[in-house]
Structure 1
Amino acid sequence: MARIDYAFVADFAKVEPSGTLTVVGASWTFVTATEFPSAHRMAVAGRVRAALSEGAVELLIAVQGPNDSFRIEGGATLVSTDAAAPYGPDNAVGYLFALELTVPLLEEGLYEIFVDLPEHDEHRRLAFEARLPPA
């Protein structure tokens, strides 16, 4: 069964051909905006662990604004590459993912990111607060 090993927000994230993640500015919990509405460029990244025999794994990422003001969803199919080296007793591989997106910051408040493996009932919730700078 596929599992989310970890997921996080970052300023930048990229899956390298070597099978590693390059990440800058990871795991923040707030964003300061000079005004609302505005937008914030960011990334969501992580690793899914699954048995090699499972094949492709469906990934769903959704961003939700404060008070359900909006919801943006996107999906991807994670597939093993020839470079993937199975490890552990269950012959698992790590499927890395990195999605860069621009989130509309409509107002101050809590923005949530949901990372799901819908076929495996596996979920993670990430969040950050958008606010104005101190007066």
Structure 2
Amino acid sequence: MTTARIVANAQTPEYYFEERCHVVECWNSADDASSSIARIRVEPGVITRLHRLRGTSERYLILHGRGRMHAGDLAPAEVGPGDVVFIPADAPQRIANLGDGDLVFLAICTPRFVPECYEDLDEDP
């Protein structure tokens, strides 16, 4: 990427992902393969599927709600607005929404997220 730009995401559609969450791809461009940013929304009472990102590290920046994060070898821990979770590449991860409202966070991946890096680790289909 060689030029500055502004990406307006107000009209970017949200889609449901098999991980049990809703996603808005805020920034994910092949011409900036170093990183991607997505807004993730997890509905109340939902636990995302256990998964890992092969070769991709991820950071969750919690914007709204309360969750319980399971990441790698860390003991499960509660997270809330302003918290950042670092998830190393290939580490198993999932998050549970503990609140009555949506859990919303930014998922910042390096290198950028591509569907081929996602690996579902849950035992149930």
Which band: TM-score by shorter chain?
0.3 to 0.5
Bigger proportion of residues as strand = 1
Q: TM-score, normalised by structure 2?
A: 0.35
Task: Give the TM-score, by structure 1 length.
Answer: 0.33
The structure whose Rg is larger is: 1
